[in-house]
Structure 1
């Protein structure tokens, strides 16, 4: 960011006070937001009375990471994975910054749909600190896969999962066609993008596109986890409050949709239309990881009331437990998209979640 940036921030301060801060529990449309601290009603970390505590603001002007230095004033998601060499990559979704606003989609901000930051933080007890960011020629965080941001064509291309296989970084993304009612949106397709240079440059694999119809409609928002030589892909339809499904593919064949198998409730099948839910409903943005302390797989998501919840299972395909609440919606009604820190931390469970009312990502801690 140039030296003029502080002046631009000052000039925007009055204008941002007029922006609408969305406080509906499960809003989807990211365009009417205000990421400026104090002006959006926030001052410091949320004080949560339940089992989970907010420990560190990861992004935004109130973060020790000072992400405004590369034009990230506000963002959401926070999908973390190990790159295979002990470095953590984190993909963020719709990101607000300074620049030419996209008035076509009703945004006062310049928007990017998918950005990536890197970190060597292994113990997040004192926060997650970033070492580098994928930048444009002006030093600002840039889109990994560009999106035209045209309603009814593609309004955003948003990451939903990431994993490393054999030195290749793999990211699942959804092409959003429209923002619909609260908690609902319509996708064109989901697909996989890959990077061979530690996330600096990405290429979409068109052959991995899953159109939003038939059985493929159940894999529009995804989560990845490895196990037994397979990559397991958990999927839901676009939007929130849906069933979750699971597929698996040999690690070396992630880019080949013909190599995937789908859990039909009793066995693995090649037919995507045979997939049956492993969790019957109430699933939104999700993350899945094996947890050494519990000796179980865990899934974090939000439920229909917008509480952050955790499911557990001894196997990738289930059976999955009933959900336990980590953050009650009454504590933090605009929280969504809980993503698990990728390194084992014993009884301490760390995850990122977005708080829409301040449109930034916060590190959370709970004790298992």
Structure 2
């Protein structure tokens, strides 16, 4: 990159941000955002007075990762998992950058729906640093699974969960049809994509699509965790503040929907998503589930109906799950969402990513259990 390129990038980004500030973005559209520090009213890490602290800016122009170097000025989600070989993969959702804007949905930014970075960070106390990113021929972060980005057809294909099985990577994505009222959206389906080359290339598995109807409608946004030879899939309907459900499948059969079993509150029912009963009755949004060695329990992180970041606990994958425990009160950080748990155990120190919508970037948080 030439010396003038960063100057040009900053100038164009500032112009785009000012243009965005003069428009009236759709409240539920994650692409109508402003990821430029200072111009979006943010400057540095948020200072939180509660038990959780913001310790590292993971993405964006204010991040030591300098993600703007591959045209990622802003993004959300940040789903982390181990690739089966001690390397952490992270996929992000809707990603704002410079380029041709998608005027069909009123966005002043060019964006991708799903990108991936790699990291060897095992101790995140000083931050999470990226080693590589999946790029296009121009050196920019590229979509793993392309989306037409046409309203009422599919305006985004967003990752919600990922896991490694036998050294092969699986990612669950939701096909978003429309952005609706704040906190609400409509999906076409969810489904798996697979990568056999450490996340560089992905292929969709059409047979794993769950249409947004019936019992399959309860697994539009997901989270994965392994236990006893099974992959457990936690699901909610599209949008926020719903019940959470759980299914499981033998690891080797993760791509076979007919092999999934659904928890009906007392037993597992095979190949019957309509049998699934809530394991948490309501108030669940984007979520992350993981076994925690220190607590000796499973934990689920999500946001509640008031947009506080909360944690649930359970001795087993199917429950019973505790009530929510607030880790970040909404009065501290009202625009936080989609907490994702760091995949490597760190004792009493719980590290997780969360998106801060006001700056439309992902930040690393720390809580002491």
Q: TM-score range by the shorter chain?
A: over 0.9
Q: Corresponding residue for 1:135?
A: 135
Q: Corresponding residue for 1:85?
A: 85
Q: Distance in 2 between the 1:253 and 1:111 partners? A: 33
Say whether residues 1:254 and 2:292 are aligned partners.
Answer: no
Structure 2: gaps spanning 5 or more residues: none
Q: Corresponding residue for 1:70?
A: 70
Q: Corresponding residue for 2:320?
A: 319
Q: How many Å apart are 1:281 and its aligned residue?
A: 0.2
Q: Distance in 1 between the 2:24 and 2:285 partners? A: 18
8 Å Cα contact 1:21/1:32 also seen in 2: no
* Deviation string, structure 1 residues 69-95 (Cα, Å, up to 9, x no partner): 000000000000000000000000000
Q: How many Å apart are 1:16 and its aligned residue?
A: 1.0
* Deviation string, structure 1 residues 193-239 (Cα, Å, up to 9, x no partner): 00000000000000000000000000000000000000000000000
Q: How many Å apart are 1:5 and its aligned residue?
A: 4.8
Q: Corresponding residue for 1:346?
A: 347
TM-score w.r.t. structure 2 length? 0.97
Structure 1: gaps spanning 5 or more residues: none
Aligned-partner SS, 1:104: helix
Q: Corresponding residue for 2:334?
A: 333
8 Å Cα contact 1:23/1:357 also seen in 2: no
Q: Distance in 2 between the 1:225 and 1:23 partners? A: 40
1:121-132 maps to which residues of 2 (within 5 A)?
A: 121-132=121-132
Q: How many Å apart are 1:340 and its aligned residue?
A: 0.1
Q: Distance in 1 between the 2:28 and 2:256 partners? A: 31
- Give the number of equivalent residue pairs: 367
Q: Corresponding residue for 2:45?
A: 45
Aligned-partner SS, 1:331: coil
Q: Distance in 1 between the 2:28 and 2:262 partners? A: 28
Report the CA distance shift for 1:196/1:21 in structure 2 as closer, same or farther (over 3 A): farther
8 Å Cα contact 1:76/1:93 also seen in 2: yes
8 Å Cα contact 2:225/2:233 also seen in 1: yes
8 Å Cα contact 1:287/1:338 also seen in 2: yes
Q: Distance in 1 between the 2:89 and 2:237 partners? A: 25
TM-score w.r.t. structure 1 length? 0.97
